[in-house]
A and B are shown apart, each in its own frame.
Chain A
Amino acid sequence: MASASNTPETPNAQAAGSSAPDGEPLLAVHGLTKLFPVGGGPFRKPSSFIHAVDDVTFRLGHGESLGLVGESGCGKTTVGKLLVKLLEPTGGEILFRFAGDSAGAATEAPWDSAAISGRLLRSCGRRVQMIFQDPYASMNPRRTIYDIISEPLSVQGMGDVQYRVDRVLEILTLVGLTPAGGFLFRHPHELSGGQRQRVAIARALVIRPSFVVADEPTSMLDVSSRTGVMSLMQDLATELGVAYLYVTHDLAVARYMCHRIAVMYSGKVVELAETEELLRNPLHPYTKALLSAVPVPDPGHRRQLPDIRGDLGTPIDPPSRCRFHERCPAATEHCLDHPHPPMEEKTPGHLVACYEV
């Protein structure tokens, strides 16, 4: 049963368009910032701000999968929500360029910008979807599987009932819920966790988006269903040409799912590199600590001690110096006096935000 067909394939790094500098990326995020006000009211000014996402910049190629890794509270989920417009950014740009756009309208408006709203946003929704962490809570328990999966089609007015039924049956078969007809009128609570997350994937992919934000889609699943969902997501990515932003706290899962990994700390991306490069040769002290803290299922394995102190705090009006400064084992006077380090390319494709590398 453990055949090669249900094995997560090695992500094909060459397929990732973003590493090639001349290729047009699908998504370019530039200086993305989200501040949450603290203590404000309808008629009061907020006293301070949580810098949930602070000046985040990255690019994502067509069909590429980028892992966004960090501890809870580091702002990784906020980035995902900003990309699908569940939140409005405080600053910065989110630029999409979808495959079809290059032909006609591309010359005048090559980018969909973060500023679009209202009806435009909805047409943008056809290209950008999201898979949520909790397969239980992210589905309306009163609706049937058909209602849930066809929702993107029906709210965007695509096709008649027969067309939607056909699309839903097709996508159910694609995500491995067969016979598809038997699932149409079930309710989410009649399905297991793994099956529900397959339904969530089906809902995200039914309108054939170019880009999907996957927010910890496997963290609540059992080991045996997790691998199946992971390999399904990879198969569908290659088949349908979907690009993923894979938000996760689990570096081991990101290793299997992503071409590249960005490590976030306290609202900032501190390191970004190809997956194996990042795991073998981490440069930022935080990435090193994070990697050495991951338990390994091999009983004989001895890990290095992660040598960072304290806890990740909430970044309320943080000082301008390096966010990791207080916990950093390598911090120097230089780090104390200078602003948060910029992302620099240390080796080709390996970006780090640290003065001491």
Chain B
Amino acid sequence: MNTSGPVAPIPTPEFGVEIGRGRVRFVLARLRLMWRSFRNGWGIFMESRMGRLSLFTIIAFALMAAAHPILMAFVWDPATYDPVTGYSFDQVEQPAPPSWKHPLGTDPLGRDVLSQLLFSTRSEFVLGITAALVTVGIATFVGAVAAYYGRLVDSFFMRLADLIIALPAISLLIVLSALFHLNLFYLALIIGVLGGFGGTAIILKSQALSIKVKPFIEAARVAGGGDFHIIFVHIIPHLLPLALLYMMFTVTSAIFAEAVLSFLGLLDLRMSWGIMIHTANTGGYLLGGTRYWWLIVPAGASITLLCSAFYLAGRALDEVVNPRLRQRND
């Protein structure tokens, strides 16, 4: 009944009875534990309205991305509906307003807007998530290493971060895209590297610094743990929640950067939301006000919705990570 009562003289108990012998049982116990903590976090995430809303939006966009190849294979005729090479011959005038055949109308080149929108969704996801993973991977490592070793290592990475923050990212991307043919992957990589060595690294480093001075780091050293062990087992796991949060924000900034560059016509992409608006712009249809709304609103709204969904998901994750932010419901 009482667990910390008087110490009995050492018995020779049957060890391993409670969890059973063998690695499998042990691993299973651990998996159950991870599942439990995931469920806790999930519960808090879903409790917030921001969390539910953002998750719903992201899933909706994911379904849209998944729908495109299916529609192309079974419903839509590629000659008419291909997002890049298709042409709608039965319309008298291009761009044509929404109709039963083209729910979101056609663009100035006679292509179906809905098909373009769905096709682009996939690349936006790929771009955002790749950029975010690269950012967080670099930033977590740089932050942990700079905080742990301090001194020259720290100075080097922090000056590098200052340099990157001082550079205006969009202007830099414009210059880079003028010099090289930037496709989706390279764009994601550049955005990821800029974010990873820039601001996110500084934020994760300051978090790592507060972990580094905790007594359990000293305890790990006394136990015989080396630098590698301490960085990867004790420091980085404490950075991951914050890293996940900044991952969400990076997705937002990557999608936004792509939209800006595509709008300026600087990217080597087949189709994207930014290119859709770019096409409308080069034809002079942006000046037409709300008359040609189907050329701008679907792509524009998608950019806004997906960006804000990832941002809100980040804010909801923040509540999971920082218990202080949670609303008390008495």
Give chain A's interface residues, CB within 8 Å of chain B. 1, 3, 5-6, 42, 81, 84, 86, 122, 125-126, 128-130, 132-134, 137-140, 142, 144, 151-152, 155-156, 161-162, 165-166, 169-170, 173-182, 184-185, 192, 194-195, 198, 200, 203, 225, 228, 231-232, 235, 239
Contacts and interface: CB of A to CB of B under 8 A. Distances in A.
B329 to A, nearest CB: 22
Given A3-B6, A134-B215, A137-B214, A155 B26 contact: no
Given A142-B238, A170-B15, A185-B30, A176 B223 contact: no
Interface in B65-124: none
Given A1-B6, A165-B15, 7 more contacts: A42-B155, A161-B23, A177-B4, A178-B3, A194-B4, A231-B6, A231-B7
B219 A126 contact: no
Contact of A129 (B10, B22, B222, B226): B222
A155 B219 contact: no
A184 B19 contact: yes
Interface of B: 3-11, 13, 15-19, 21-23, 26, 29-30, 33, 151-152, 155, 214-216, 218-226, 229, 234, 237-238
A276 to B, nearest CB: 25
A61 B234 CA distance: 35
B19 A137 contact: no
A144 B218 CA distance: 18
18 contacts: A122-B226, A125-B222, A128-B222, A140-B216, A142-B238, A156-B223, A165-B26, A166-B16, A169-B13, A173-B10, A173-B11, A176-B4, A180-B18, A181-B18, A185-B30, A203-B223, A225-B4, A231-B7
Contacts of B151: 42
A124 to B, nearest CB: 9
A125 B16 contact: no
A161 B25 CA distance: 11
Contacts of B22: 162
Contact of A162 (B11, B17, B23, B33): B23
B18 A176 contact: no
A156 B222 CA distance: 11
A177 B215 CA distance: 23
B229 to A, nearest CB: 5
Given A176-B6, A235-B7, A125 B26 contact: no
Nearest to B21: A162
A42 to B, nearest CB: 6
B16 A185 contact: no
Given A151-B225, A162-B22, A198 B216 contact: no
B215 to A, nearest CB: 4
Which of B13, B15, B33, B219: most chain A Cβ within 10 A?
Answer: B219
A86 B221 CA distance: 7
A267 to B, nearest CB: 21
A176 B9 CA distance: 10
A176 B21 contact: no
Nearest to B27: A161
A175 B215 CA distance: 22
Task: Report, nearest first, the 8 A-B pairs whose CB atoms are least far apart.
Answer: A181-B18, A6-B6, A125-B224, A152-B223, A138-B215, A137-B215, A155-B225, A130-B222
A202 to B, nearest CB: 12
